[in-house]
Amino acid sequence: MAYTRDQIYQVLEELGIRNWMRNAQVVGNDIILDIVSPSPAMHERKRLEIALKNAFKENLPEANLTLNISVEVEEKNPNEIKGSELPGVKNIIAVASGKGGVGKSTVSANLAISLANMGFKVGVLDADIYGPSMPIMFDCQDARPYSVEVNGKTKIKPVEAYGIKILSIGFFADTDQAIVWRGPMAAKALNQMIRDAHWGDLDFLLIDLPPGTGDIHLSIVQQVPITGAVVVSTPQTIALADARKGVGMFQMEAINVPVLGIVENMAYFTPEELPNNKYYIFGQNGAKHLAEQISVPFLGEIPIVQSIREAADVGRPAALQEGTIVAEVYKNIARNTVQSLVERNTTLPPTEAVRITTMAGCSAKN
């Protein structure tokens, strides 16, 4: 005889698992059920199988029951954001590198300036506790943050330079003073700079992370909702190997931060007197090829230009040099970063996506 779906539903209702059924096929006396178990435990699935067979044997004794029991795994948002929000801060971008000395802090400073030049409100948190660079790069090493009263609470007011709000452990230590702290103490100091600061309204807060993958990185993603990460590398193989690890860190399940892309710094050398010549001292297109291999966007390449180094040394980021090739390079990287953020951040409201892509001069795809 052929059984009806109502008969099958009745059996499942009696067991209280009607909603667990995903599909049912009936061919004569043959009943094929696809059931989803809420528990991955083998003994729970076995118990469910026995209960189903006994129930059908009692209610539909002539049926030939075939069961396919699977486990439903709750899908995680690929752009899951951890940490509690910072009031007034819309987007938080971590700038990282697997290896030291690749120019991550220089990229952070110039990316901040480029975003500010587009009209965004920008802040920079120097999270490199042991080697802070931002006070020198923004020519404010003698500045000291001061306290302000906000809603009855005492907060730290960041230092401002070139329109960028900046906080760094370098503001709280003498120039010659080494920061010799264990991980928990460094994490605590970082948390104070994040949580006890009055950042005000910011479109972007850039976090200049220390090189490598360690305690500070884990602390950051646990404390604040990182919108995305930018990884900086140079073209040579040894730097690319560490950059790959840096990308892998953000893609770990425990961290799970969208990687907005890779920037290739020191991509080639161009002499000032021969601006059209390119000399690939460290290799050609290494970071670009890595980005293709691991399926993350390539945000752009930055040449070795003497003015970038000089600008960093005197505390005036090179992106401030309007009308130069260097400023245009950083502008393109900033634009590509914004575009990638919009495309990869599924939680971004459509109106916000349109606003920031319009300001950055790129097309909104949300």
Which residues are annotated binding-site positions? 98-105
One-letter amino acid for residue 151 of the chain: N
Rounded to whole angstroms, how far apart are CA atoms 365 and 338? Answer: 12
CB of 337 closer than 8 Å to CB of 261: yes
State the DSSP code for 344. H
CB of 39 closer than 8 Å to CB of 7: no
The secondary structure element, H or E, covering residue 24 is: strand 21-27
State the DSSP code for 253. T
Rounded to whole angstroms, how far apart are CA atoms 211 and 127? Answer: 10
Judged by DSSP in three states, 333 sits in helix
The first and second tokens of residue 344, run together, are 């990869």
Helical pair 215-223 and 183-195, crossing angle rounded to 10 deg: 30
Q: Is 354 exposed, middle or buried (0-12, 13-18, 19+ CB in 10 A)?
A: middle
CA 90-92-95 angle, 5° bins: 155
Rounded to whole angstroms, how far apart are CA atoms 60 and 296? Answer: 55
Q: Is 6 exposed, middle or buried (0-12, 13-18, 19+ CB in 10 A)?
A: exposed
Would you report the helix, strand and coil content of the chain in percent, each value rounded to 5? 40, 20, 40
Annotated binding-site positions for ATP: 98-105
Strand partners, 148: 155
**CA-based nearest residue to 96, from 257, 225, 236:** 257
One-letter amino acid for residue 191 of the chain: N
DSSP code string of 50-98: HHHHHHHHHHSTT-EEEEEEEEPPPPPPTT---SPPPTTEEEEEEEE-S
